[in-house]
Structure 1
């Protein structure tokens, strides 16, 4: 790899980290804790949607708890004997990020089944199944992030946590799996399910304004996922090209180093955005009940007319 220093980029991103992480940490903790209180204490009964949203809040809280360590690591190097602790914190950070991604994709699938297949929804959708899906998400992302413990050289001396993975961490196999299974696959599921749900809601003959509100909320949820997570995964791919010496120009390397730091900061902002979306997602669930009744009624009428 060419000798290209990015110290000026690191100095700039240190200030950016504080400007973004501090308000995200304060508001994110308050909003997600409030959401958990509502879901666990105030709601009269659990539903599939509230289970998924509770899981998303837990993922967001787990990510938020890593931000103080990231801020500390931005200004201090860590001693070699803290390498295991650093790997553990890095693992939790990515567990939370990709756990959130898969939980959001699961919410989209659950919504798609409820809206597009109302008869099958009675058989497939249940609180038990939602709990099983959430547990499987935790198991999957924890297993998938376990290689992080091997991404650091054991004899590198003092190091910067959350930065500077060894070349193994930027191998082709790791990056392909991360991009494909960590982002592209759940993003494709989210887009397809959201588009199909929107089409069904728009095709409904009901002029209820709640239906239009549901369509807007789905669009908003789609944007809230793609806008923060797409840039950071593009940046990860570009950094892969740098670390494997496909990009050698120093200026481009510095731009990519800045891009990946900024995009990861933007991705962390979703901890607040998710909390603000809980209310609207719950509202969407309530508003689609009438649409579901209309869909069931329309399906029954169609079946009757074909007999």
Structure 2
């Protein structure tokens, strides 16, 4: 690929090999881990709690992200004919639905846990399996509506093309990138970090951590890792590539490095499908006593309220 006498052929050649090396283990591990998790949540767990509903939704989002990967690997090394353009847009839609659906599901898990630990009295009114299911439905609708414009992100052309590459200039409009960065990353990141920090602080404030509390802390940290590790570099790379398209960055060497950074970051972002498996492992232990944390937080908050009233 060449743009304004700046060649990206070396980057494209490198990514053809790198994507295969990264995608194959991610796809195989991701499918196995997520299918196993789906079986555990849907078959082996007798009771559906708020946590299992959110985690099942996360599994579905991860599977939706994994499904297009074989086609993405094929498109890296092969040109697609023009009659596959709509199928390509469909695959791209599934990919981004899975990605941003995972982001918002992880944010919902953080908020749900924050309610249960930090505001146990309100949690009794706000938390329920029906509320969790309704929230998941809202996430699906919101992501589907947000991703629907992707069908217009490819220019009408009769030439062969690489699927998942070569989006039209409409993708790099300021309004699109601002929405992606703010609503696709910054807002969920703030929610996840703030809720997680407050939840851990509340658990630590209660005194010596019990085994169940330590398990909850591990869940919180693993959820943050499953979000921050894959999605921070990719959205930083999108922002830098946006600056390239806006003409803010014009140096050819810098543009080449940003192109490589973007493709590597987007490639590694798929590892979230495997990182979420850590959350599945911890959640399977937590649901054995689903009301433990809520019960303990209620007692702790009641003691704190009683102490405050005596001052």
Judge same fold: TM > 0.5, yes or no. Answer: yes
1:256 matches 2:258: yes
Contact 1:214 1:287 in 2 (8 A): no
2:62 and 2:273 in contact (8 A); partners too: yes
The aligned counterpart of 2:92 is: 90
SS at match of 1:269: helix
- The count of corresponding residues between Structure 1 and Structure 2 is 307
Q: Which moved more, 1:188-197 or 1:272-281?
A: 272-281
CA deviation map 1:23-44 (0-9, x unaligned): 1111111110111111111101
Of 225, 237, 240, the match for 2:239:
237
Cα distance per residue 1:209-250 (max 9 Å; x no partner): 332342233223212211110000000111111122221111
Shift in alpha-carbon separation, 1:8–1:128, aligned structure 2, 3 A: same
What is the distance in 2 between the residues matched to 1:276 and 1:213? Answer: 12
Q: CA deviation at 1:83?
A: 1.1
Which of 101, 104, 107 lines up with 2:106 in the alignment? 104
1:218 to 194, 217, 220: 220
In the TM superposition, residue 76 of structure 1 has moved relative to its aligned partner by: 0.8
Corresponding residue number in structure 2 for 1:65: 67
- 2 CA distance for matches of 1:265 and 1:114? 35
Question: The residue matched to 1:62 in structure 2 has which SS?
Answer: helix
Output the TM-score relative to the length of structure 2.
0.94
Q: Distance in 1 between matches of 2:47 and 2:291?
A: 16
Residue ranges of structure 1 left out of the alignment (5+ in a row):
none
Gaps of 5+ in 2: none
Task: Indicate if the aligned counterparts of 2:52 and 2:287 stay in contact, CA closer than 8 A.
Answer: no
**2:281 equivalent to 1:293:** no
1:10 corresponds to 2:12: yes
Cα distance in 2, alignment partners of residues 270 and 303 from structure 1? 40
CA contact (8 A) 2:58 2:102 kept: yes
**Alpha carbons 2:19, 2:267 under 8 Å: kept:** yes
| 1:201 aligned to which of 203, 219, 225 | 203
Separation (CA, whole Å) in 1 of partners of 2:68 and 2:241:
22
| Residues 1-307 of structure 1 aligned to structure 2 (within 5 Å) | 2-155=4-157, 157-284=159-286, 289-303=291-305, 306=309
1:44-74 Cα distance to aligned partner (Å, 9 max, x none): 1111100000000000001111101100110
RMSD value, Cα: 1.7
